[in-house]
Amino acid sequence: MLSGHHTAAVDQATLEKSISQATQALLGYRQSDGHWVFELEPDSTIPAEYVLLRHYLGEPVDSVLEAKIANYLRRVQGDHGGWPLVQDGAFDMSASVKCYFALKMIGDSVDAPHMVRARQAILSRGGGIHSNVFTRFMLAMFEVLTWRSVPVLPIEIMLLPMWSPFHINKISYWARTTMVPLMVLAALKPRAKNPKGVGIDELFLQDPRSIGMTAKAPHQSWGWFALFRALDIVLRFLEPMFPKKLRARAIERAVEFIEVRLNGEDGLGAIYPPMANAVMMYEAFGRPADYPPRAVTRRGLDKLLVIREHEAYCQPCVSPVWDTALACHAMIEAGGEAMLPAKQGLDWLKPKQVLDLKGDWAVKRPDVRPGGWAFQYNNDYYPDLDDTAVVVMAMDRVRRQSGSGEYDVAIARGREWIEGMQSRNGGWAAFDVDNLEYYLNNIPFSDHGALLDPPTEDVTARCLSMLAQLGETAQTSKAVADGVAYLRRTQLAEGSWYGRWGLNYVYGTWSVLCALNAAGIDHQDPMTRKAVDWLISIQNRDGGWGEDAVSYRLDYKGFEGAPSTSSQTAWALLGLMAAGEVENPAVARGVEYLKSTQTEKGLWDEARYTATGFPRVFYLRYHGYSKFFPLWALARYRNLSSTNNRVVGVGM
């Protein structure tokens, strides 16, 4: 591996071969109608929850499927005996409790070595009492814990006016869709069928039925926490006295909310937790398995399964719009014969734009016309800004090359929606506007700290990149000027920016450097120089870049290194090139790293998780990231090296 500052120029012939092999490999994953969709692998909690859901409902046992899920769960068990949230990660209590429970439910003996190790790991860390709120709700329904162990979630919240501090529209889309059916469950307090009668009392150091409320979470402040805990005690006392009619009306309102958004087999919110909660809700109402809303949602959950010869797991959702849009960018960058598949991918994306339905976002922005894309095949109530910006930029790139006007309307509507979705602090969030009610992260239910969808650096960068690529500058557009100001404010002292949806500061910094370049910020601006110096300073000795999920810890002190990955290396390279560093030796070393780690098939192996569902709680491994990002970086390097103009002329 090359090292030091005197690297030879990258060999163009081998670079070309590398790009061509990667392009062919990516084309091999295309679906027959021109789109791409890759596996989206969560941590072990979702497959474990899927198993427990089947036993909750008392469904016939599918022993072949369960055996495959058990193989998966046993394989990802950590050296510490428990289950981590990322590959090689630290022990996580809730994941470990769920996986142990699922394996026991499937039929693994409690005396099997892997179960003994798991139990010891859990007990040596204080036992199942340290499970998070979501896990406790599940354990309460399985009668392992009592309902005293979970916060009171009065369904009457559904009737509160918008000005109240607890309105359902003051939390994020994922929390909203998850909580509404969960509040119904909390009101009805159903019991799991659990035909095998499996319990996990052995994971507790005390009688689990004696366990009360959760402790304060590390992100919560004592003052707020004490206030909300007192409120919880009062509500617990009053709840049995709430008028029955009021409760019935609140449940009715919740069901109305859910049924409008059921979204066919794509499911409520098109993500696993709300869909599973909705199925359990119908079960609690006594609706039979063939009751259409229940049956359709239940089929949707099975569509999230990835079943292989020996293993199976359940995805949290699917990512076709995101995968297709990013694959199209990589193809456009590769150029030549890859342009046609890119065009076909965009033609598949075009009708997916949500043009007629105003989703939940419209509560805060009633006068903005819809025009976004969702992340999944269908999720019209919840389009997201990141996808929309990435799709619009890809369409604009093809439009520039072809001169055709076929995407003009789609681009204009996407842009109009994103401009209308800017938060008042100048940033952009993923799904909502001005979702800044930070006090809500202190309610007992929010021990995960992921109740809100505030503006973030990475999504802000993407929206800024899009506006800039479409010709706006800080001089011509208030939206761009405010966005740039937001990014100036949020840069860390070390020079990096936070990455909310990708891991982590490498992802955020790549996103922002692309945006600043597109917005015409001088490459010599101190903000850009600091970011470049930071990226170069954290390059691994092998020439690649890697960053660990630990970087999301609340007391972040600086970069948390990890083994190099192809996706994080590609982000660092794309960021450096956007900042004008094409000829920097660090870039040549990164390119060599990608070339030397490419497999025979033209792809990259990437076992590590490099994306984020919720910081500190839930991480993702996008199987597509190692297929399109490295190709994109290599092709970008070739394109910039072979011209006299070394400037990246697009938003990302």
Specify the DSSP class assigned to residue 500: S
Cβ(108)–Cβ(115) under 8 Å? Answer: yes
What's the CA gap between 99 and 44, in Å, rounded? 7
Residues 196, 84, 214, 251, CA torsion sign: negative
Name 622's bridge partners: 40
Residues 79, 85, 91, 95, CA torsion sign: negative
- Angle between helix axes 585-597 and 566-578 (nearest 10 degrees) is 150
Q: Which residues of 588-605 are buried (b: 16+ CB within 10 A; e: fewer)?
A: bbbbbbbbebbeeebbbe
3-state DSSP assignment of residue 329: helix
Question: In this structure, what are the phi and psi dihedrals at residue 620, rounded to the nearest 5 degrees?
Answer: -135, 145
Could you tell me how many residues make up the chain?
Answer: 652
Cβ(562)–Cβ(608) under 8 Å? Answer: yes
What's the CA gap between 589 and 611, in Å, rounded? 24
Q: Which residues of 439-472 are buried (b: 16+ CB within 10 A; e: fewer)?
A: ebbbbbbbbbbbbbbbbbbbbbbbbbbbbbbbeb
Catalytic option among 92, 266, 360, 386: 386
- Output 113-116 pairs: Cβ under 8 A, ≥24 positions apart: 114/74, 114/77
Other C-beta atoms lying within 10 Å of the C-beta of residue 308: 11
- Angle subtended at Cα 297 by Cα 136 and Cα 316, rounded to the nearest 5 degrees: 55
What's the CA gap between 646 and 641, in Å, rounded? 7
Match 């949230």 to its residue by tokens: 85
- Angle between helix axes 272-284 and 244-260 (nearest 10 degrees) is 130
201 catalytic per annotation: no
What is the Cα Rg of the chain in Å?
25
Match 């035909």 to its residue by tokens: 195
Cβ(121)–Cβ(113) under 8 Å? Answer: no
Reading across the β-sheet that carries 618-622, which strands appear in turn? 40-41, 618-622, 611-614
Element (H, E) at 347: helix 339-349
Residues designated as active site: 386
